[in-house]
Structure 1
Amino acid sequence: MKAAESAPESSSSTERHAAVEPPPALPWGSSTELAWRVLALVNLFRLLIPLLLMVLYWTLEPRLVGQANSQMFFVTSIAYFLFAALSIPSVKRRWPDRLVQTAFNVGIDVLAISLLTYSSGGMNSGLGALLVLPIGAASFVVGQRLALMFAAVAALALLLQQAFTTLAATSDPGDFASAGIVGALMFIVTLGVAPLARNLRESEERVRQREVDVANLAELNQFIVQHLRESILVVDDHDTIRLINESAASMLYGNPVPAGVPLSEVSPRLLYLLDTWRRHSYDWQLSSLSLMTFDGSSLVQPHFVSLRSGGGGGPTLIFLEDTTLIAERVQQSKLAALGRLSASIAHEIRNPVGAMSHAAQLLAEAPQLTPQERRLTDIITKNGERVSSIINNVLQLSRRDSTRQERIELNGWLEDFVGEFRQTAQVDASKLYITTSAPELEVRVDPSHLHQLMWNLCENALKYGRKFDSNDAIEIRTGRIATSERPMLEILDRGPGISQPDAERIFEPFFTAGKGGTGLGLFIARELAQCNRAVLIYEPRQGGGSIFRLVFADPQRWETQ
């Protein structure tokens, strides 16, 4: 049925892609981004020129500008500046049409610069050359014919002002040549800019076409991603989700997640792991850096792939892999390898370590030893005991029998276990107690595995879960996960807690943050949990302390398999 249903959906998607066509080429009467940018830059030119000319008028002696008619020079400069200032809102709002603005602005430029040139004594002032920039810029905005007309009008304006200047006897008739040269220069610039403007127009068309292609590819990618069985998402360099399929959204959030949502709102833990991978991808600890699903039912292992060539930064593709079934499949092979390793350890290391420790004990009994020598023998003895403890833990893990699960009532089993533990560890009932939110809580687990796991966790809580000179109580809490109704068991303490870097590695073998530990207790506890399709996780406790949560498999689910 799924295949049959997906066919019309794929067909409709194909129709959508076929319907997306590139837009027609924009006529020159339409506004484009390039044209408005050019108009904005030319308007900036109009703002700066009057200011610069006024500064030259007041600072240079003899005056190079405004000397022929200072009153006209001042009035024209001020009016030109005010026109440029008033044009700023028009350019920003892009109204009226850019062709209208260009024609009107060029007319003002020709008039203002011609008057400034006339009031400064004609072409010998050099101000006529200022028209080259507005005329050349207009060639980017309008067609070639209209641009040539602007150049012709500007050239005639310069010749006309030169004629009036000559008649007023404030200029040499030979300056007509300068006016002609500047006019010819404007024609040359207009003709030279035309090919560049044409190339820019073609580039704009190619960009628009690529935008359509990118939109089509994005829609196709979205379709493919949503129908993948694997759980994947794409995060950009600002940690915003760009693509996420239904499987990943259900795993991380429990509900659909639209694109554009920050990753921190969906899964802060995944954001932390992503940041860790970006900073330390060369030392990525795949065995310990994982996260829980939204309903707390299983562990998820993320795999990160940079979409930027060369790696590092940029958009990142994240694969989310449910490790529960994988861990179950590799468990037997792992135990077989561990068994061979432990046998070698027992044969090659245990006897020499025992002999070394025994020799150190005999040496410590010698009466003639100095305090320094006794301290050294004590170091040998303690480290020998630690090595022996590591060997015993590895042997205990590798020699355990295959899993023999039974249905047990968790609360009743815990009462017996806590009573045994209190008697063995000499712990008062007020310092280790049970609370439950579910009167009857059945789980399917191997009782011997659960006993060993709980003993390790309770011993750690007594040893590390209480602050110095503190008598804080340790709580064992049972209940169900709210979202999935899976049975769970928690051990809570009010100790110093575990730092964030250490929390990422506490389930690694031989890792310990304290002194004297072997670093195998939590590793063995998680292995025992995985053997019983359960999940053991750590999280900091609000207000200080630690929580170790054991989430059991649903007994009804596994009973039928």
Structure 2
Amino acid sequence: MTRAWYGFMTARSTIALALLLLQGSQYLLHETSSPWLVLLCAAYFASALAVRLLARPRLPRHAADPTWLLTAGLDVLAVALLQVFQAGSNFNYTPLLGVPVLQTAVLGTRAMSIGMASAITLLLVLETWWGSARGAGETTARYLQTVLTGLGYLLVAFLANQLAARLVREEQLALASQHAARLQTQVNELVIEALADGVLVVDAAGSARTVNPAARQLLGAAGLQERDALVLSARPGWAPLLELAMMTFERESAQVADITLRNAGKGTRRVRVRTRMTEAHGLLQDRLCVLFLHDLREVEARLRTEKMAAMGRMSAAVAHEIRNPLAAIAQANALLSEDLQDRGAQQLTLMIRQNAQRLSKIVDEVLDVARVPAPGRTSPPSLVLDETVRSICNDWTQQSPHDRQVLLSMGTHGLPVDFDTDHLRRVIVNLLDNALRYVSGGPASIQVSTQLSAERQSSLQVWSDGPPLEDTVEQHLFEPFFSSESRSSGLGLYICRELCERHRATIGYQRAPRQLAGATALGNEFSVQFRPPKPATGAGRRNSSQMPLV
């Protein structure tokens, strides 16, 4: 209704200007108009223009509102004075009274519109009586014309008020619906933002329309700003996600698949993706594909927790029961070997001792799994990653300097990470021992590096030039009691993963290129991504260094 108010104010100003020009031209050219009429039209135009330019839309809903005196009341007064002062002329100004009738009908209440039409009808009757008293024309015809005109004003006022009231109701409903839709949109955005699963909305061109924080984290795009456009074809590691979205558009049906996202410098991440399509109301380009991303690590963690909760208790109990007789067997074998002179018997006792040590190591690893603290129950101290990694690798190489060579490349500039030193030692030693079994033995065949991402997140990489793993081995790489060797317990990498997850870190495997003997070589890389660092506490920056340990 605000636009209607401005429309009526503009119409009033236009009519007042036309009256002023009419009276002014008559006064200047023919001198048939009184100067008082010119002044009346000038005052009317100034008032109408002032209301149009200075007043603000204020829709009067009551008859006592003073706004009516400045608008509709002034219109009726100006037209009535012009009609009275020029009663003997050929001009009839009564049709202009339709403006205040329409104004009150559209902007006012029904009673106000009927009242305004009745008041104007009464004025027309008085004007007819005045003309009849002065003997102007046929009395009966003038009264009939006045009655018909007043009846027309009443009908126009009633119908215009009904239409205006309906428009007002529809406008209010539209505003209420718009407000409800805006609130629902805000609620949807809040729900999507708070979802633990990733939500990604893409169009047919592969451009993301909506990406919640969980999806950015899964895609490795947490550093991008929300206003930055995210295109799935921008990174090769997102290709499986783009293919699944395009398949959804082509088949026009929901899809479910487990895919692997490869993020440069951050390893791989297994994700279960469910797709849905919006309803088509037009072209295919108008349809959107909604992808729900669920980190399979959480599913596997729940299953692993339930599985290991029971297996851990049983394994710990069995390990305790095995340890005592195993110690007795080892001690008895040692005493027996002291008195044996036969070479064949000594070989048998050596075999017993080696297998007893192997069993003892398995028992220790099972007990270590049971002793790993649950996440959140401890607050691990911070350690300087570069110094700690260099110290651990140095201790590991000193055990056999001739066979163990490691090329170090430190690049976190002395920033700390939240990880227990003993736990990090066990992780690195396990990874180095695994790497040592399959390397070629040449210089720089084992490389350990630390890196700092653009988001200032630290990571650790242990690379070796060994052959690639089989797909079946890679799929179960971090599962307990799984090993490609018959003499391995299959708990080493599982313990590494458990320790990393207890410290809010992640560990992954991928084939990655490195520089080896002046050429680029592919190798097996295990990468540990530490959780984002706390605000800096003034730790000094250090230059990236690369040095071999022999």
Quickly name the TM-score band, shorter chain normalised: 0.3 to 0.5
Q: For the pair shown, which has the larger CA radius of gyration, 1 or 2? A: 2
The TM-score with structure 1 as length reference comes to 0.43
User: As a proportion of its length, which structure holds more strand?
Assistant: 2
